[in-house]
Amino acid sequence: MAALTGVVLAVLGLRLCCAAAAVPLVIWHGMGDTCCNPLSMGYIKKIVESKIPGIYVLSLKVGSNLIQDMKNSFFMNANDQVREVCSQLAKDPHLKGGYNSMGFSQGGQFLRAVAQRCPSPPMLNLISIGGQHQGSVYGFPRCPGESSHICDWIRKTLDVGAYMQAVQEHLVQAEYWHDPLKEDDYRKNSIFLADINQERGINETYKKNLMALKKFVMVKFLNDTMVDPPISEWFGFYKSGQAKETVPLKETSLYTEDRLGLQEMDKAGKLVFLGVKGDHLHFSEDWFYTSILPFLQ
d(CA 162, CA 189): 9
Length of the chain: 297
120 part of the active site: no
Residue 118 is classified by DSSP as: -
CA distances from residue 106 to 6, 16, 97 in whole angstroms, order as listed: 52, 38, 26
105 part of the active site: yes
Cβ-Cβ contacts under 8 Å for 209 (sequence gap 6 or more) = 115, 116, 117, 119
Please tell me which residue in 105, 128, 136, 291 is annotated as part of the active site. 105
d(CA 135, CA 61): 23
Please tell me which residue in 29, 133, 178, 280 is annotated as part of the active site. 280
94 part of the active site: no
Which phi-psi region, left, alpha or beta, contains residue 63 (left: φ > 0; alpha: ψ -120 to 50)? left
How many CA atoms lie within 13 Å of 284's alpha carbon, on the beta-carbon side?
Answer: 5
d(CA 94, CA 96): 6
Cβ-Cβ contacts under 8 Å for 7 (sequence gap 6 or more) = none
Q: Are 127 and 295 in contact (CB under 8 A)?
A: yes
Q: Are 101 and 116 in contact (CB under 8 A)?
A: no
Q: Are 26 and 58 in contact (CB under 8 A)?
A: yes
d(CA 80, CA 170): 10
Helix (H, G, I), strand (E, B) or coil at 247: strand
Please tell me which residue in 224, 228, 232, 291 is annotated as part of the active site. 224
Helix (H, G, I), strand (E, B) or coil at 220: strand
Active site residues per annotation: 105, 224, 280
